[in-house]
Chains A and B, each alone.
Chain A
Amino acid sequence: MNERTVSVKTAGAVGGLDVGAIRRDFPILSRTVGEHPLVFLDSAATSQKPNQVIDAEAEFTRHHNANAHRGIHMLGEEATQAYEGARATVARFLGAPEPETIVFTRGVTESMNLVAQGWGRTHLREGDEILITEMEHHSNIVPWQMTAAVTGATLRYIPLTDDGLLDLSQLGSLLTERTKIVSVTGMSNALGTITPLRQLADSAHAVGAIIAVDAAQLAPHSPIDVQALDVDLLGFTGHKMLGPTASGGLYGKSDVLESMEPMLGGGEMIHEVFHDHSTYKSAPFKFEAGTMPIAQQVGLAAAIDYLDGLGMANVRAHEEEITRYALDRLLDAGATVYGPKDASIRGGAVSFWFKDVHPHDLATILNEQGVAIRAGHHCAQLAMRRYGVPATARASFYVYNTKDEVDALVGALDHAQAIFS
């Protein structure tokens, strides 16, 4: 059997990133799995966190912890400033016009449910149509099924081509004046496919629909400018972009946010409460009922500062290069890749089958070599069904991954072959 170890390149920055220096910021990357160095190729599920994020969250908790927007005391003021500062940081990162266009949520699942309920239940009725795609994560399918059941609206799907791209040839018949909202992923977590957002936004607007984007995968891996893309709503998740779990949010154009109903009622989202009704604050605060994950959003701001320091164009370039390398090596090794084979039009989540080895078996065998991948349907069963597989193995890459780690992945495939041949 072929034993491989991973050495991290400290020189020869890839795509403008000094990956060796980056890796030193992530304490978890120096741990081992059994006797092997950890090769973490599951960032599409959740990313690792640099010291800067871990420290920012801990610093807030240690020295500034109080509830935001409540205390008159000094800690309350500091907590509010940190929390609202994080909102401004997110707005800048996404190219949003002002901080008030950012609603904090606990992640993109909550964001898309807020869109489906808060917008969908007040704007949709029988005869209306919701247009999504077959490559959506379940978090951008199930909320719409729930909303369709309540409103009587119809859910329609943009199909996929054999190459893992959106099949836009039927868009004319799918996107009509009956369509009220188009809700699409920006980058597929199961196929890696990048959606032509500006094109879809223009097409949606041309028929009077709005467009919402699930940017769970796009935001961590690509520069985003919500105004240039002209999208109406865009949800994102902090823990996939170096931030803490339970951080994230929803960008929305001001008029769209104002037209939405809150999903949760409770403290801090109200203007005034009476016996028979209540009045709400304006957006974004009417959507933030109860105590929010404050330390986590502060941690998210630190993650964004970290990504900004690297430069999102450099992040994208690095991932494109490593994805190209991984596609080449996996295909050479005899793997079947699901999704586009051209790294320039896709992200770094690479779904594959290796020969006849079931993804679950493959993940167990790779784990014995310290290589962490995802095996399963990736919460994208419609995409799995489209390509006739119940599950795939998925390797996904981020700023801290190296080509040596791709080599470790491909080398570990030999073990699977040896067991199952």
Chain B
Amino acid sequence: MALDDIYKEVILDHYKNPRNKRELPGAELQCHANNPLCGDEITVFAHVDGGAVAEVTFQGAGCSISQSSASMMTEAVTGVKIGDARGLAERFRGMMAGDVEPAEDEFGDLVALKGVVQYPIRIKCAVLAWDVLQEALDGAGSASGAQPHTV
């Protein structure tokens, strides 16, 4: 293990300069969760149009892994069809479980989080935003969206 594997430049960049970190007024989908282990919090806002994630933002506070993962996630799923976003979430989860070898063209910056697999207790940090996204997308068919929950 080496710290370079987890604290890669790209992770620190997303942590220090998070993308799409703001509320999204009028978002149809909104979901919040926290990690009871450390108190990290993420809220995901999504605007859905024509079966695709037209815009997605997040708010939250937490460690570099949870916050950078959220930032990268918003970039990865913007403009993506809902089904494909779910698929990416599944494959991201698979990468964090050590089962999926990430394809760089699909994962983009997210590949950087692969090093977290070596730190099992931090995997929850990396998948927190994705849990919230999935919960929000699960509400895409309902009127009110998903309820706040604790993962």
Nearest-CB distance from B61 to chain A (Å)? Answer: 6
Q: Which residues of B contact A360 (CB under 8 A)?
A: 38, 40, 62-63, 65, 122, 125
Chain B, 34-46, contact with A by CB distance < 8 Å: what is the 0/1 string? 0001111100000
The interface residues of chain B lying within 8 Å CB-to-CB of A419 are 3, 7, 12
Q: Mark B69-80, 1 if CB is under 8 A from A, else 0.
A: 000000000000
A368 interfacial contact with B, CB 8 Å: yes
- Which of chain B's residues have a CB closer than 8 A to the CB of A384? 39
Smallest CB-CB separation from B4: which chain A residue?
A419
Q: Are B63 and A381 in contact (CB under 8 A)?
A: no
Q: Could you say which of B1, B2, B12, B64 contacts A358, with CB atoms under 8 Å apart?
A: B64
**Is A364 on the interface with B (CB-CB < 8 A)?**
yes
User: Is B65 within 8 A of A420, CB to CB?
Assistant: no
Report the bound CA distance from A67 to B61 in whole Å.
51
From 370 to 394 in chain A, residues with beta carbon under 8 angstroms from any chain B beta carbon are: 375-377, 381, 384, 390-391
If over half of A's interface residues share one DSSP class (helix, strand or loop), that class is named, otherwise mixed; here it is helix
Q: Is there a chain B Cβ closer than 8 Å to A34's Cβ?
A: yes
- State whether the Cβ of A156 lies closer than 8 Å to any Cβ in chain B: no
Pick the contact of A364: B12, B39, B40, B119 (CB < 8 A).
B119
Q: Does B53 contact A (CB under 8 A)?
A: no
Contact B3 A390 (CB under 8 A): no
In the complex where A360-B63, A419-B7 touch, is A390 in contact with B38 (Cβ < 8 A)?
A: yes
Q: Please give me the residue from chain A that is nearest to B125 by CB atom.
A: A360
Measured in the bound complex, the distance between the Cα atoms of B149 and A44 in whole Å is: 30
- Assuming A364-B6, A419-B3, is B39 touching A377 (CB within 8 A)? yes
A368 to B6, CA, bound (A): 11
Per-residue contact bits, chain A 252-286, to B (CB 8 Å; 1 contact, 0 not): 00000000000000000000000000000000000
The distance in angstroms between the C-alpha atoms of A364 and B122, with both chains bound, is: 9
Q: Which of B7, B12, B125 has the largest count of A CB atoms less than 10 A from its CB?
A: B7
Residues from chain B with a CB closer than 8 A to the CB of A381 are 39
Q: Contacts of B61 on A, CB cut-off 8 Å?
A: 390
In this complex, the member of A361, A376, A381 whose beta carbon has the largest number of chain B beta carbons within 10 angstroms is A361
Chain B residues 16-74 with CB under 8 Å of chain A are: 37-41, 61-65
- A365 contacts partner chain B, Cβ-Cβ < 8 Å: yes
Known: A34-B1, A364-B119, A419-B12. A358 touches B63 (CB 8 A): yes
Q: Which residue of B lies closest to A392 (CB)?
A: B39
Contact B38 A376 (CB under 8 A): yes
Bound: A365/B125 CA distance, A: 15
Asked if B3 and A359 make an inter-chain contact with CB atoms under 8 angstroms apart, the answer reads no
B residues within 8 A CB of A361? 7, 63-65
Residues of B within 8 A of A415 (CB): 3
Residue on A with the closest CB to B41? A390
B contact residues around A377 at 8 Å (CB): 38-39
Nearest CB on B from A198, distance (A): 34
Please tell me if the beta carbons of A391 and B39 are within 8 angstroms of each other in the complex: yes
Closest approach, in angstroms, between the C-beta of B21 and any C-beta of chain A?
Answer: 15
What is the distance, in angstroms, from B39's C-beta to the closest C-beta of chain A?
Answer: 3
Per-residue CB proximity of A381-415 to B under 8 Å, as 1/0? 10010000011000000000000000000000001
Across the interface, do B63 and A376 meet the contact criterion of CB distance under 8 Å? no
Residue numbers in A under 8 Å from B12 (CB-CB): 419-420
Residue of B nearest to A376 (CB): B38
Residues of B close to A365: CB separation below 8 A = 3, 7
| Binary per-residue interface labels of chain A (212-251) against chain B in the complex, 1 for a CB within 8 Å, 0 otherwise | 0000000000000000000000000000000000000000
Q: Mark A12-34, 1 if CB is under 8 A from B, else 0.
A: 00000000000000000000001
Which chain B residues border A368 with CB–CB below 8 Å?
A: 1-3
* CB <8 Å contact, A391 and B38: yes
Interface string of B118-132 (1 = CB under 8 A from A): 010010010000000
Residues of B within 8 A of A359 (CB): 38, 63
Contacting residues, chain A, for B122 (C-beta < 8 A) = 360, 364
Residues of chain A contacted by B64 (CB below 8 angstroms): 358, 361, 420
CB-CB nearest in chain A for B37: A376
Pick from B1, B38, B40, B41 the residue with the most CB of A within 10 Å: B38
Q: Cα distance A268–B101 when bound, in Å? A: 56
Interface residues of A in 118-162 (CB under 8 A from B): none
Return chain A residues, CB-CB under 8 Å to B62.
Answer: 358, 360, 390
Could you tell me the distance between the alpha carbons of A360 and B36 in the complex, rounded to whole angstroms? 13
CB pairs A–B below 8 angstroms (20 shown): A358-B62, A360-B38, A360-B40, A360-B63, A360-B122, A361-B64, A361-B65, A364-B3, A364-B119, A365-B7, A368-B1, A375-B38, A376-B39, A377-B39, A381-B39, A384-B39, A390-B40, A390-B62, A419-B3, A419-B7
The 6 closest A-B pairs by CB, nearest first: A390-B39, A360-B63, A358-B63, A391-B39, A391-B38, A376-B38
Further contacts, 10 of them, CB under 8 A, given A376-B39, A415-B3: A358-B63, A359-B63, A361-B64, A364-B119, A368-B2, A375-B38, A377-B39, A391-B38, A420-B12, A420-B64
